[in-house]
Amino acid sequence: MQLLLLLLLLLGACGGAPRRTFDGSTFRDGPVAFSVPQAPQGWRPVDVTSGSLAYRDDAHGASILLNGRCHRPDEATPLLALTNHLLIGSTAREIVTQETVPFDGREALHTKLRAKWDGVPIAFDIYVAKKDGCTYDFVYMGDPSAYDEGSRSFEAFVSGFRTLPGSGLVAGPAGLRG
């Protein structure tokens, strides 16, 4: 019985999908691998199932989401369409600024806007970038009255983002997967 239990533990440790890990600066989940600076003081981590990392900035009434996902190399969805996808469900959108900015050796679409979500005013600061077959979304959303101060910390955090070697699509016997 003990031998069977040991064998099952070893098989579980050796096989299966790569595990999602985050040590405070390095995130890995299958083909997605990146580093970020230490989260600003006052941000507390939040567990999410539909994103890579999330934080809550209680002092500024804001939530922060960082998501990385890899896709087929021929996916050519423009950054603007990817940004608009993040805003599905919002109404009364008013873009404050929208510009292409340098980002981890590529370009990102950086959008600041105000909108309503279920009738509640929300301010957004969004970066969307694509690199090596992966798309990265960074969203800061919160109370418009405390937005400016919180958004500065968010932008400093995002500026420290770096993809890691080996991130992106992985070639395997069945072709590309990610």
In a domain, 152, yes or no: yes
In a domain, 57, yes or no: yes
Q: Quick one: pLDDT at residue 19? A: 77
pLDDT tens-digit series, residues 26-36: 999 999 999 99
Q: Write the CA distances from 178 to 4, 18, 29, 169, integer angstroms.
A: 33, 12, 10, 5
Q: Quick one: pLDDT at residue 18? A: 53
Please state the rounded mean pLDDT for residues 75-89: 93
In a domain, 12, yes or no: no
In a domain, 153, yes or no: yes
pLDDT tens-digit series, residues 17-27: 457 899 999 99
In a domain, 66, yes or no: yes
Q: Quick one: pLDDT at residue 174? A: 38
User: Taking the model in full, what pTM does it have?
Assistant: 0.83
Confidence of residue 3 (pLDDT cuts 50, 70, 90): very low
Q: Write the CA distances from 86 to 30, 58, 164, 167, integer angstroms.
A: 23, 22, 24, 23
In a domain, 175, yes or no: no
Nearest CA to 53 out of 63, 105, 153 is that of 63
Number of domains in the chain: 1
In a domain, 136, yes or no: yes
Q: What CATH number is attached to the domain comprising 76?
A: 3.40.1000.10
Nearest CA to 167 out of 122, 142, 124, 132 is that of 132
Would you say residue 46 has pLDDT above 90?
yes
Q: Which domain holds residue 133?
A: 21-165
